[in-house]
Structure 1
Amino acid sequence: MTMKKEVISIFVDNQANVLTRVVSLFGRRGFNIDSLTVSATDNPAISRITIVFTGNDQSLNQILTQTEKLEVVKEIFMLEEQNSLYRELLLVKIKSDKTNRTALREIVEIYRGKIIDLSKNSMIVELTGAPEKLDGFMRMINCYEVVEMCRTGITGIKRGTEDGICSDD
């Protein structure tokens, strides 16, 4: 069976312990979550959970079915790459001084990032975009000393005007 990275979006009741219930279901079924984001929606009663995990078609169907049975789940669907947009946020602190600051600034500009903090010995860069863009940026700076890094994980949305649970229609 072919394993592939899957991205699913789950609309859930915005209440205490919902995230724990959803995540523990994945854990009990032996799924490792690669990325997890939770966010508000335009409806204050509903939250959106985006989960990235690796699985095959059978395991995907199994986890979708089991997650959908939770009473706190309002809607669950796949965010397929061909009809969805994925984004991440990266914050990275890079050791820098006057000898490498210009070269680092050029790399940041090419990737349309922002230097959000600059000190005598380091800079902090903020970069948003598709996961592949962030991966490419990290490869470009691998010859510099990364002091600290934090990535949010993938969040995504379907393209087009499909009605979702949060729409007013």
Structure 2
Amino acid sequence: MKKYTITALVANKSGVLTRVSGLFARRGFNIESLCVCTTEDEALSRMTIVLNGDEYTLAQMTKQLDKLIDVKKIAPAPEDDSVYRELLLVKVAAPAEKRSEIIEIKEVYKAKIVDLSPETLILELTGEPNKLDGFIRVIEPYGILEMARTGVTALSRGASCLNDRLDYNEQI
């Protein structure tokens, strides 16, 4: 199984997320990561969906998504032609005797301390998903108390844009 990333422009209205996620559920595909937000055009939202599967799975889900009326444009986001980013917040046990070690690790990964207490640190890290995975593995022995990840977001490299050739005269 391989991870595939799909980006889609969808109508920014109630129920669209439910229809898209329901499409995956009905076919038995698990969404590994989902990031949704409005775009520069408030009538549209951008979805970045990461799923595990093979090329057939990717082709099937792309075809099925394309059939939904609220999906305006869909495209794969291949690793070699896209920039991926994700945000991680992690609360780590940080007693005084271990705090300097944790801070050294934070500096290697270029993470930020966004909150601290006498017993804990909350660290923020942005980067490619594998960088975040590596950071988690290194920091885990210190005691991860809680963490949250945003999910992957992606843009294609170069001048091409997902909204190229989008028909703005069409009813959104």
- Short-chain TM bin: over 0.9
Could you say what secondary structure the match of 1:91 adopts?
A: strand
Equivalent residues of 1:92, 1:148 under 8 A apart = yes
Equivalent residues of 1:46, 1:166 under 8 A apart = no
Distance of aligned partners of 1:121 and 1:163 in 2 relative to their CA distance in 1, 3 Å threshold: closer
Residue 26 of structure 1 corresponds to 24
Equivalent residues of 1:94, 1:146 under 8 A apart = yes
* Structure with the higher fraction of residues in helix conformation: 2
2:87 pairs, out of 76, 86, 89, with 89
C-alpha deviations, 1:96-132, integer Å up to 9, x for none?
A: 1210111101100110110011100101001000011
2:49 pairs, out of 38, 45, 51, with 51
- What is the rounded CA distance, in whole Å, between the counterparts of 2:64 and 2:141 in structure 1? 45
Equivalent residues of 2:91, 2:120 under 8 A apart = yes
Equivalent residues of 1:127, 1:134 under 8 A apart = yes
C-alpha deviations, 1:1-39, integer Å up to 9, x for none?
A: xx2111000100000010000010011011111001101
What is the deviation of 1:167?
8.4
Residue 132 of structure 1 corresponds to 130
What is the deviation of 1:58?
1.4
Residue 96 of structure 2 corresponds to 98
Task: State the superposition RMSD in angstroms.
Answer: 1.4
What is the deviation of 1:163?
3.5
1:80 pairs, out of 74, 78, 81, with 78
In the alignment, structure 1 residue 11 sits paired with structure 2 residue 9: yes
Could you say what secondary structure the match of 1:94 adopts?
A: strand
Residue 170 of structure 2 corresponds to none
C-alpha deviations, 1:45-80, integer Å up to 9, x for none?
A: 000011100111112111111110100000000000
Residue 158 of structure 1 corresponds to 156
- What is the rounded CA distance, in whole Å, between the counterparts of 2:155 and 2:165 in structure 1? 14
Distance of aligned partners of 1:74 and 1:112 in 2 relative to their CA distance in 1, 3 Å threshold: same
- What is the rounded CA distance, in whole Å, between the counterparts of 1:152 and 1:166 in structure 2? 26
- What is the rounded CA distance, in whole Å, between the counterparts of 2:161 and 2:52 in structure 1? 27
- What is the rounded CA distance, in whole Å, between the counterparts of 1:151 and 1:142 in structure 2? 15
Identity of aligned residues (%): 48
TM superposition outliers: structure 1 runs of 4+ over 6 Å: none
Equivalent residues of 2:89, 2:147 under 8 A apart = yes
